[in-house]
Amino acid sequence: MNMFSSSVKSTFALIFSLILASCGGGGGSAGSTGSTSSTSGTSTFSGSTTTTSTTASVTLTLVDQTGNVISGRTLSQTQQQFLKVVVKDTKGAVAPLSTVKVTADDKLLTVTPSGGLLTDNLGVALFRVAPASVTSSGVVTVDVASTVNAVAVTQTIDLQINPGTIELGTLTLNPTVLQRGQSLNVSASVLLNGFAATSNSVSVVFSSTCGAVSPTSALADSVGKASAVVQTTIQGDCSVTATAGGNSVSSTYRVTAPPIAGLQFVKASPTTIYQIGSTGANTSIVQFMVIDTVGGPVSGIPVTAALSNLDGGINFCNSPSTATSGADGIVAFSVCAGTLPTNVQVKASLVDTPSVTTSSNILTIQTGLPTQRFFSLSASQFNFYVGAGFTDKIDGNKVDITLRAADRQGNPVPNGTPITFVTEGGQINTTDGKNLSSCLINDGGCTVKLIGQNYRPWGSSATGGEVRPGRVTVLAYADGEESFIDGNNNNRYDVGELFEDLGTPYLDKDESRAFASTYTNLVVGTNDGEVTYPIPASASGTSSCPANSNVGLSVENTCNAKWDGLTKVRGSLTIVFSGGEVCPPSGYDTSIPSSKRTQIISASRDAVRVQLADCNGNPLPADAVIAVVVSQAPATPDGQCAATFSGTNIGSTTEPTQHGIILTKCNGGETVSFNVTVTLGSGTKITGFGVVLP
């Protein structure tokens, strides 16, 4: 009986809900749908299916902005429309404060608000619905979900969307005549299905033949107008076009040339030139640009130029000082150096408006040629570990040889000036991997490497020659001019002014400061001799060379007693191929002067001063580290005699070095023996010698 009663109740409840749904749709035939639910079974209405556990309903109606029901289910592209949602509870009463959410394909339909609403006191929630765009088309299904007394109810409605028809009105331009660089305002009225397009509903693309448009794509505003700005960049007869929905409208305007504003200095290339007769560039191209009020180039404008000074004959290279600007607005003038170093500016003016003028940055004119007094040769260290003679040889160590050159005003010579190096021993090579014995000046100097290897010089038997083996002369030379005293300050040599005559350069192998064409090596007795290098024939002669400025630089009696603006400037230095150990006083060949040997300079109970040299009488390598210990000495009442060097470095030099040895706890009258340790990258070597303390 109970089971039957329950079944009957369920049946009646289902019938009631169907009747209620058909009678209580709340919107008639104007596109409304409704749904009901029961405790058992499924109800179907208007193409939707809802399964619930209690009776409740959701009614959907499409209405306009005044609340009137819209017949049919077609959305408007121009009018505001709303989806009216009515929620009722299980008793058929309106359900206020019920949560309602509406979802649909956002590519077709825009629902506002998108996050959901609560129903009002009448159980109503309104959602604005509109096509996603004017081109949206098709049927879209809208899903509605609500919650009544913690029970979910759903409903759907199908809406038809038809694409809109877009029309463009006449373009409005303001102004229609303007100067290049000025802005043009453009706007187009937009109709959608015959009505003014709603705000942001239609996008209009603008383009122009004479400038950049911003924005290129503009949305219709609240009165159905799309607007943009054209920034003009060229001049002439121009047009602007608006396009939307496959339709286009165009209009024309005119852009005129802005007035000429002035002249602008562009560049001088190069910024440094060299006086006539120098090896560097003697000409600079100075450029200006004729510009209008917006900074654009102006062609066909005559420009005249003038020089700020004419020192030494600076000129426009015998070319016209008036020129006409090209298509890029550029006008160029050539400036040629004279005979003096100086600074010069080029002043440019408009021929038709002389008050419009500008000047170039300073153009510098330098002498350019290296001069003897400013020719400088140096080395990173003068003594490095190579070895010479019969023992203690090592190949491959290197030192940097750097040449710096300037003109007679102390200005750097042009980049790219070549410097030639020659050497008495070892190998000269560049640092850039090009395997050259020369280098090119850059920023006033250039560097090569002297590599330790054979040939290792043996010493000279020539009168006044250096007898010690392992001393290498390096010579550098380049095209340059003889130094002179500019008595009248015109920066050029005038007859009668004092100068330093240069003759034929040579490689002073034996450091005698005099040319020796032949001699024999002191140790092995083989033939040797010094080598000369050519100079221009016009710079060579048979006159004696100055003894005060030319020692070791020129072969005797090869000067010409004339100032030479083009000869060979030169410089030389001595590099020592040092041995790696201290030579004991008894270890020297008799040819080595006693003053160059290892020896005790002075001695006391507290200190000893000692000179250290390798077995050729040369200094140890610059980077050698030395230490000393007492190897044999009588004990004193205070303990064992001890010794330390006051310094441990050799340093860069071409001669044997002297060092102080500090003694502690040593007696006088006794012989103290020392062991000197030399440490190099290749290891350590120990040498012993002794001294009697006073």
Kindly report the backbone phi and psi dihedral angles of residue 202, in degrees, each rounded to the nearest multiple of 5, phi listed first: -130, 135
385 CB-side CA count, 13 A: 18
- Of all residues in the chain, what percent are helix, strand and coil, respectively (each to 5)? 5, 45, 50
Q: What number is the average pLDDT over the span 293-308?
A: 92
Protein fold of 272-366: Immunoglobulin-like (2.60.40)
Question: In the prediction, which pLDDT does 422 show?
Answer: 95
| The pLDDT value given to residue 2 | 37
455-499 pLDDT, tens digit each: 999 999 998 999 999 999 999 999 999 999 999 987 788 999 999
Name the 3-class secondary structure at 389.
coil
Fold annotation for 585-692: Immunoglobulin-like (2.60.40)
φ, ψ for residue 521, nearest 5 deg: -70, 140
Confidence class for position 32, pLDDT limits 50, 70, 90 = very low
* Average pLDDT, integer, range 391-397: 89
Tell me what percent of the residues of the chain surpass a pLDDT of 90. Answer: 63
Lowest mean pLDDT among 281-290, 343-352, 427-436, 555-564: 427-436
Q: What percent of the chain has pLDDT over 70?
A: 92
Q: DSSP for 138-159?
A: EEEEEEEEEEETTEEEEEEEEE
DSSP codes joined into one string, 303-324: EEEEES--GGG-BSTTS-SEEE
- Give the span between the Cα atoms of 130 and 128, in whole angstroms: 7
Q: Where are the domains of the chain?
A: 2-161, 166-256, 272-366, 369-578, 585-692
For residue range 537-582, list pLDDT tens digits in order: 999 999 999 988 888 999 999 999 999 988 999 999 999 999 999 9
Checking if the pLDDT of 50 tops 80, the result is no
d(CA 531, CA 509): 9
Mean pLDDT of the chain: 87
- In the three-class reduction of DSSP (H, G, I as helix; E, B as strand; rest coil), residue 386 is classed as coil
Rounded to a whole number, what is the distance in angstroms from the first to the last CA of the chain? 143
Average pLDDT over residues 37-52: 36
Q: Say which CATH class 369-578 falls into.
A: mainly beta
Lowest mean pLDDT among 182-186, 368-372, 514-518: 368-372
> What is the predicted pLDDT for the residue at 198?
81
Return the structure tokens found at 605.
């109970």
- CATH fold of 166-256, please? Immunoglobulin-like (2.60.40)
Q: What pLDDT sits at residue 663?
A: 93
Find out whether 41 and 10 touch, Cβ atoms under 8 Å.
yes
**pTM assigned to the model:** 0.60
Q: In the predicted model, what is the mean pLDDT of residues 145-169?
A: 89
The CATH number, out of the four listed (2.40.420.20, 2.60.40.1080, 3.10.450.50, 3.40.960.10), of the domain defined by the range 2-161: 2.60.40.1080
- Decide if pLDDT at 380 tops 90: yes
Long-range interactions of 251-254: CB distance < 8 A, separation 24+: 251/170, 251/171, 251/173, 251/186, 252/176, 253/173, 253/175, 253/176, 253/177, 253/178, 253/184, 253/210, 254/176, 254/177, 254/178
Lookup: tokens for 491: 């920066």
Provide the b/e sequence for 220-236 (b: ≥16 CB within 10 Å).
bbeebbbbbebebeebe
Question: Using CA atoms, how far apart are residues 648 and 659, in angstroms rounded to an integer?
Answer: 9
Helix or strand (DSSP H, E) at 13: helix 2-23
109: confidence class by pLDDT, cuts 50, 70, 90: very high
Tell me the per-residue pLDDT of 577-600, one tens digit each, with 9 for 90 and over.
999 999 999 999 999 999 999 999
Task: Give me 120's structure tokens.
Answer: 């009002």
331/110 Cα distance (integer angstroms): 62
Give the residue-averaged pLDDT of 636-646: 84
Same fold, 2-161 and 166-256: yes
Q: Does residue 204 contact residue 218 with C-beta atoms inside 8 Å? A: yes
Arithmetic mean of pLDDT, 190-211: 89
Find the mean pLDDT for residues 329-336: 96
Q: Residue 601: which pLDDT band, with cuts at 50, 70 and 90? A: very high
pLDDT of 3: 34
Question: Where residue 682 falls among pLDDT bands split at 50, 70, 90?
Answer: low
Tokens of 393: 């040889």
Q: Mind listing the pLDDT tens digit for each residue in 54-94?
A: 578 999 999 998 999 988 888 888 788 999 999 999 888 99
Angle (CA) 648-652-658 rounded to 5° is 50
Distance CA 287, CA 359 (A): 10
For position 684, what pLDDT does the model report? 87
